[in-house]
Amino acid sequence: MNYDIIITNLEQASQALQDTILKIQKQKNILDDETIEDEFEVNLQHIYHHLNVAWNARRASIQKYRNMKDADFNEWSKYPLLEPYSMEEINPLS
* pLDDT value, residue 89: 65
* pLDDT value, residue 68: 96
* pLDDT value, residue 47: 98
CB 46 within 8 A of CB 15: no
* pLDDT value, residue 80: 86
| Residues in the chain, pLDDT under 50 | none
Q: Please tell me whether residue 28 adopts helix, strand or coil conformation.
A: coil
